[in-house]
Amino acid sequence: MSKRGSAIARRVIHTLALQSISASRTGEAKNPVLRDYYLKKCGSKPKLVAMGAVSHKVCNILFAILRDNKPFRIITPQEHNKQYNAAKCGIAA
């Protein structure tokens, strides 16, 4: 990971990613989509590399929230693809 930019911003994004992949006291994932992504990455990469990938995804989510000015919703990748295809092709999902 690059050391360019604000160290505080990097730390905040890392903390957000760490909290997103953690499990609550009841054992369920706080963000099941990011947790599944992290566990899939951990299957083939070292844990810190997988954590960097999750941090990158969190950063992309933050910028999308700011760009679109919409609240955050957890959606699965399949649901995202369905919405994308419906918007692109002009068909109802």
Tens of pLDDT, residue by residue over 29-53, are 999 999 999 999 999 999 999 999 9
The pLDDT, as a whole number, for residue 83 is 87
The pLDDT, as a whole number, for residue 65 is 94
Going 18 to 69 to 93 to 86, the CA torsion angle's sign is negative
Q: Is a pLDDT exceeding 80 seen at residue 1?
A: no
Q: What token pair was written down for 41?
A: 């990455």
pTM more than 0.85: no
| Dist. CA 4–CA 26, nearest whole Å | 38
Q: Is a pLDDT exceeding 90 seen at residue 93?
A: no
The pLDDT, as a whole number, for residue 3 is 80
